[in-house]
């Protein structure tokens, strides 16, 4: 995977962290080498929103959430909201599992 270009902000959110959105800086394009369903090697570059979505989902594979890209102070300011979400103190229109 090669990520390149200038960083540009976009107001991201995630079903894992409902009702929280923040401007996140990400590089403008990503080039992936992958095997398709027939095991044929491919290289493809994605940019714009599709590149951003790939980077967002790849972060999940790496154990990261979009809020991990925020400055520490901003994360501390939203700690109360994050604690409420982790305790299930949030109303969403989809099924969520909470710890404990």
Residues classed as catalytic:
57
Mark out the alpha helices in 1-100 (DSSP H runs). 48-61, 72-77, 79-86
24 neighbors 46 (Cβ within 8 angstroms): no
Helices vs. strands in the chain: H and E counts, helices first? 3, 3
Residues 93 and 88: their CA atoms lie apart, in Å, by 13
Tokens encoding 82: 């994050």
């Amino acid at each position: 995977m090669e990520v390149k270009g200038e960083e540009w902000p976009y107001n991201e959110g995630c079903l894992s962290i409902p009702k929280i959105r923040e401007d996140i800086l990400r590089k403008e394009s990503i080039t992936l080498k992958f095997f398709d369903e027939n095991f044929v090697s491919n290289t493809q570059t994605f940019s714009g929103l599709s590149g951003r979505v790939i980077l967002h989902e790849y972060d999940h594979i790496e154990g990261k959430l979009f809020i991990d890209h925020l400055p520490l102070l901003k994360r501390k300011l939203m700690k109360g909201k994050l604690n409420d979400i982790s305790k299930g103190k949030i109303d969403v229109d989809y099924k969520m599992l909470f710890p404990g």
